[in-house]
Structure 1
């Protein structure tokens, strides 16, 4: 029994050491591949299609401030205030989902980043537990700017398209630094369902959501002020 407990303890110690080390390294090193990218590539190959993987890492300084603000307006308006989890949004989502067939999520940008970098897609409680763990790690070790930088470089934004730079070129024939406000709002709106929504030819429903996002961006003053983030 002692050997088993010692074995379990050693596994846990190694797991914590490796995962914490990974998060520390990725505080500075670009994230070039994610589990989702690999999964999508395998799916394409199994379907007999050629592998499509468009991505170009860009520092946050070369990603439009409009896009940074747009994703906060659409995905996580308390991004600068919370420490990884928006408990108010979680409670609202639970109440909404009890009454509506159309489910609403409450994952923050930090949670989505943790999931995209370290985990596989899915809704199991086991995966959710790992997501909580990695969200805590990146919120403890990375800055809000770094979380946003990684998020906007690895998020799936279309079929085989990952990150703001690749999406800007694919849909608008420009760079992530030069997209305008409406283009930024469009990319932010397709993030929840990038394989369903078409950023190049948005539907009337998407155009309505884009206009709402632009209103929210104006309400925020047109810029995301990282100096207003909560101290950790």
Structure 2
């Protein structure tokens, strides 16, 4: 085993420990903040219900309510991120029958706030398709792909996700009309720590982990992209034969 491989493994191990520790340390205080904001929001509602309030005071309380709502959404997003971090470094895995359509719908729900201001989401599922896998890990796959699409789109974009079955595989395609990927970057997309994002943004582990998860269930992943046109990601997972 050469030094580069050993160094990569060491970095992955260290990153995993750091991510797990950071997620754990953040989860509890964020939950406290969330509870506090919910209590504050209810208090604001009670005060706003006072008929003796002036119009100006009621308007100011309305602004406070909107600010608290935005803060609650931000905290929930941070809690989701910590959950994804814990998921990414999990060592246990529970393989069961998973409905790919259900997994994709959950991923769309979790990335809704990220996509809603940037793109119209189109989806087409031919039918429910079952595969063997850990639902939480498969969810990680599609959250990552949808997040990548959202980040590649400036505004008024389209993200299309569709699934079908072909030759014993469930085939899921995630396509966007975003900025696309440069040709010289294509061959490095699945390398650990490779990223085209600015320094300090992204670890370069997203697609690396996606590929590992998909391949662990006997599947594969392919990416086609053109700069200025967009990207299509195809994930194939072994289908459970219908009885």
Taking structure 1 as the reference length, what is the TM-score of the superposition? 0.26
The structure with more strand, counted as a fraction of residues: 2
The structure with more helix, counted as a fraction of residues: 1
Which one scores higher on RCO, CA 8 angstroms, separation ≥ 6? 1
Higher Cα Rg, which structure: 2
